[in-house]
Amino acid sequence: MPLAGKQSRFAWPLEVGTANRDIRVTCNAAIATVTLTGGTHWWRDDGTANDMATRLIAALQAHPQGPTVTVDLLEDGKAYFESDLSMTIHWADALTTLDPLWCGFAAANGVFVLDGGVYKLTSTYQVGHSWWPEVRYVNDSGIQTSHQVSRDEDLEGKPDTWLWASKDYQTIQIKMLPMAKVFAGDAAVNEDLALLRDYLATGGPMEWCPDWEIPGTYYRRVIHEIQWLRAWPVRNMGEAATYYQVAFPMQDAEGWS
């Protein structure tokens, strides 16, 4: 497909409700609690309503001091904030109920630093509920289609065929993954593949963005092969002992269409 060979990213949903949507923020020396809109959000960075970056921007700009804020995702999966006013996010405050790991932070103050007339902050870790392999993928299959078909013979011995439904699926390969992108014991916070796989084993959908630089292009997917969820799908590359590869056999999350 046209985007094969790009650096992709994966995301799974963040459920924001009344119990986990508050952030304690100091802006222009005034402290206040800002609140995210509840709902199912995703790290997309595309400006859509349920984009987690969009929700964070709206919440931070709702501070009584009225800052202008931007939130973007960087190539390494970290969140990058800018504000026209001085700002500190108090992730460890008792009144902050949003999980700081969702935004890539430890439970400590996130202090914006003045640089070139703008206050800036980059998250400590990659944002949560996302997996950034940080290497290119290859698409060995493209889009393939399978059909749910029944066949019988009529009274004259002629075959009758019924097409009940069809589904599209594809498999992408991600090769040369270092241990730090695969195993929790070797990975930085939020970066191991096991986090994504453990979520997918619940049957929930993910969003796959083939090219992180085109965040508005993404697809809602589930894993096509049940065995992928049962057994550890990562394979060691014998020719490069400390590197691994994984294939994602995916189908549309809407299922049969």
Q: Is 162's pLDDT higher than 90?
A: no
Provide the pLDDT confidence category of residue 42 given band limits of 50, 70 and 90.
very high
In a domain, 5, yes or no: no
- Residue 27 corresponds to which tokens in the numbers above? 């802006």
Same domain, 15 and 113: yes
Q: Is 45's pLDDT higher than 90?
A: yes
From 129, 158, 185, the end of a domain falls on 129
Same domain, 205 and 154: yes
Q: What is the mean pLDDT of residues 154-178?
A: 83
Dihedral sign of CA atoms 257, 208, 8, 215 in order: positive
Q: Which of 16-20, 109-113, 241-245 has the lowest mean pLDDT?
A: 241-245
Q: Is 163's pLDDT higher than 90?
A: no
- Using DSSP's 3-state secondary structure scheme, residue 49 falls into coil
Same domain, 65 and 118: yes
Q: Is 120's pLDDT higher than 80?
A: yes
Contact 247, 233 (CB under 8 A): yes
Same domain, 124 and 35: yes
Q: Which domain holds residue 50?
A: 11-129
Same domain, 40 and 146: no
In a domain, 1, yes or no: no
Q: Mean pLDDT across the chain, nearest whole number?
A: 91
From 103, 129, 155, the end of a domain falls on 129
Q: What is the mean pLDDT of residues 143-165?
A: 80
Provide the pLDDT confidence category of residue 141 given band limits of 50, 70 and 90.
low
In a domain, 257, yes or no: no
Provide the pLDDT confidence category of residue 22 given band limits of 50, 70 and 90.
very high
Dihedral sign of CA atoms 156, 158, 159, 164 in order: negative
- Residue 102 corresponds to which tokens in the numbers above? 């969702």
Contacts of 49 (CB under 8 A, 6+ apart): none
Provide the pLDDT confidence category of residue 2 given band limits of 50, 70 and 90.
very low
* % of the chain surpassing 90 pLDDT: 74
Please report the pLDDT score of residue 4 as a whole number: 60
From 71, 104, 129, the end of a domain falls on 129
